[in-house]
Amino acid sequence: MAWQIDAYEPLYELKPFGPDIWLADGPLIDFKAGIVTVPYPTRMTIVRLKDGKLWLHSPVPLTDKLKAQVDALGEVAYLVAPNKIHYWWIGEWMAAYPDAQSFAAPRVEERSWPEKGVRFDHELTNGADTPWAGEIAFCVVEGHVLSEAVFFHAASRTLIVTDLIENFEPEKVHGFWTHLLLRLTGIMAPNGAAPRDLRATFFGRKAHLRAKVEKILSWQPEKIILAHGACIENGALSFLRRSFRWAGIKPA
């Protein structure tokens, strides 16, 4: 059975999202969801800090075209793996930018990444200091299986999320069974949320999750970059409250 989700063309090209923040869409990757395999789009976020250094989140494959565009922005200084699913191409960037520091959320080391040339210099834990403190806030949402670092770029009022919220547009999803699967999983726009299988990682930890979501809401984001699906360019707070209703977050 074929499952089809459109990639976010053009790929490997910087797309402005706000002041000193860009995204770059990458290829589709196959992700196993129960007994089926679904193609997932990939997306990287780049922030240019006040000192001109670049912060890269969940890198996509490094092509010559993308490298030239990134180099024109500034110095690649920080490479970030926000959870143990979003590290796959970070080794390519480490090889191209050996002086860059690498950061990973907890549990990323559980994946078999050394053969891909990946090393991590720092672990992102709640309360840890970072070189970008004051410009990009973060908190780690800790689950039994998956822990994710969520980031907030203050200058652009943008929240950056990977798998805690997915938001696939119906027009980019093809085929009855693909539509049905994503709706049953709870990740179809405009009502995107965490996939139902991922929600299980917070069994018995919903109080922790709600506390982290309230912290994220306190940042007052206006926009959200999502790794999978449609980004949110306005109404971020109401979208977040709707996305985490399953965890007990109340609407405004």
Beta strands in 113-210 (DSSP E): 122-123, 136-142, 147-153, 158-161, 173-174
Closest C-alpha to 187, from 200, 173, 176? 173
Residue 219 lies in a domain: yes
Residue 123 lies in a domain: yes
pLDDT at residue number 109: 73
Reported as a single tens digit per residue, the pLDDT across 27-53 is 998 876 566 677 889 999 999 999 999
pLDDT at residue number 197: 87
Predicted TM-score of the model (pTM) = 0.94
pLDDT at residue number 77: 98
Give the amino acid at 190: P
The structural domain count of the chain equals 1
Q: 44 lies in which domain range?
A: 4-246
Asked whether 196 and 181 are in contact (CB, 8 A), the reply is no
Residue 251 lies in a domain: no
Closest C-alpha to 163, from 249, 46, 243, 252? 243
Give the amino acid at 41: P
Reported as a single tens digit per residue, the pLDDT across 146-165 is 899 999 999 999 999 999 99
Residue 16 lies in a domain: yes
Alpha-helix residue ranges (DSSP H) falling in the chain: 64-73, 90-96, 176-185, 196-199, 206-218, 236-243
Residue 28 lies in a domain: yes
Instruction: Give, as one character, the DSSP assignment of residue 110.
Output: G
Q: What is the CATH number of the domain that holds 142?
A: 3.60.15.10
**Model confidence band, residue 108 (pLDDT cutoffs 50, 70, 90):** confident
Residue 145 lies in a domain: yes
Residue 76 lies in a domain: yes
Closest C-alpha to 73, from 44, 109, 108? 44
Residue 252 lies in a domain: no
